[in-house]
Amino acid sequence: MASYDHRKSEPQIVQWLLDTRDLWPVPHRARSKDQVQELKSVASRALALLSSAEQDSVLRYYHVKDAKMSLASHLLKHLVITKYCNVPWSKSKISRQPTHGKPCYIPEGIEDHMHMDFNVSHQAGIVSLIAAIGFENQVDVGTDVVCANERLIQDYSNIDKEGFFAWVDIHGDVFADSELQDMKLSPVSAESVGILGGEVEGYAKDTLSRCQWRNKKLDIKVVKADGVPESVELSSNVVLNAKLRRFYAMWCLRETYIKMTGEALLASWLKDLEISNVQTPAAKDSADSSSLEIGDVARDFKIVFKGKPVNDVNMELSALGPAYMIGGCVRPSAVMGTWLELNLETDVLDIAEANL
């Protein structure tokens, strides 16, 4: 591993992904807890890199998928410290900030140390890490990962009972009132419901906005590029899928911002944070069901906190494969790059073992 000299290197934002879905396959066991214990053998190389307390925290999970994400999260945090702070893996101790408990690295007995802030997230097998490396002053970062179809059956069941608007209201404590209205009634784009080469206008746009029930047929008037109107029959399921994706996009953005601050979804000021002008990033057409290919990246969100514009934050939302979205947030504003998917063997384990 090349040495990183913070006195000579430019500040940077690091953005990593690790896909645990196919890592450390364990034999089937009748009890989920027994499957987790199988990690002691199938993931022994990775677990050996963690402290006893960290190993215990991983093996305490009930579901193996959660244990694997926890293991990957620990590895990424140690990796970013070892790689950019020039300390052995064994010295890459992870602490917590005293104010809000956000994980951090506090070097022992080093005065001229590099400034670093990092944050991790994990969802549906994907683990992300974002870090601000080598900035002269404090830079805060946050990340979140969502999977729009992970709870699709449950989401559909709730929507079928009460309608989409009532389903959105279930999460009313998490979102600002303006965001709840946007998710319910803001029109979805023509492209997001499969209408290409045309615009939805007038009453047709209102029909899409007010759509909240599945398994309905919608008659939509589309104005084609040549100005000629055309009637299109559209399934309400397509519209609701687009609205669900927008909901998870907005959830991801809020979580990303909140995690940057070090707070959680129980923060007292949640209703005072408003994020608008949210364009849901589209997945790449070529992305298959298991792909993590980066699609569109949404930027230029409007952020308001307690009625005042927030202008010192850079926030991005990237489509990741067909179902995932990943958010990144930096304050003060700094340029972000693209998310880099790491290889467990060559990018993590080999580096760790070479720098114990």
Q: Lowest mean pLDDT of 284-288, 323-327, 333-337, 342-346, name the range.
A: 284-288
Mean pLDDT over residues 287-291, rounded? 83
Long-range contacts, 185-190 (Cβ 8 Å, 24+): 185/209, 185/210, 186/246, 188/239, 188/242, 188/243, 188/246, 189/242, 189/279, 189/280, 190/222
CATH of domain 1-135+335-356: 3.90.470.20
User: Between 141 and 108, whose confidence is greater?
Assistant: 141
Sole residue written with tokens 């299109």:
232
Q: Is the pLDDT of residue 89 over 50?
A: yes
Q: Does 140-185+238-333 match 1-135+335-356 at the fold level?
A: yes
Q: Among candidates 291, 319, 323, which has minimal Cα distance to 147? A: 323
> In the predicted model, what is the mean pLDDT of the chain?
93
Question: C-alpha angle 260/246/22, rounded to 5°?
Answer: 70
Residues 6+ apart with CB under 8 A from 299: 315, 316, 317
Q: What is the pLDDT of residue 111?
A: 60
**What pTM does this model have?**
0.93
**Radius of gyration of the chain measured on its C-alpha atoms:** 22
Q: What is the pLDDT of residue 346?
A: 98
Interval 341-351: pLDDT, tens: 999 999 999 99
HSE of 53, CA atoms in CB hemisphere, 13 A: 3
Going from N- to C-terminal start, the domains of the chain cover 1-135+335-356, 140-185+238-333
Interval 245-276: pLDDT, tens: 999 999 999 999 999 999 877 788 999 999 99
Q: Which CATH architecture has domain 140-185+238-333?
A: Alpha-Beta Complex (3.90)
Q: What is the pLDDT of residue 1?
A: 42
**Contact predicate 28/133, CB 8 Å:** no
Q: What is the pLDDT of residue 197?
A: 81
Interval 36-58: pLDDT, tens: 999 999 999 999 999 999 999 99
**Contact predicate 77/18, CB 8 Å:** no
User: Between 105 and 308, whose confidence is greater?
Assistant: 308
Q: Hey, how many other C-beta atoms are within 10 angstroms of the C-beta on 209?
A: 16
Q: What is the pLDDT of residue 202?
A: 84
Q: Is the pLDDT of residue 10 over 90?
A: no
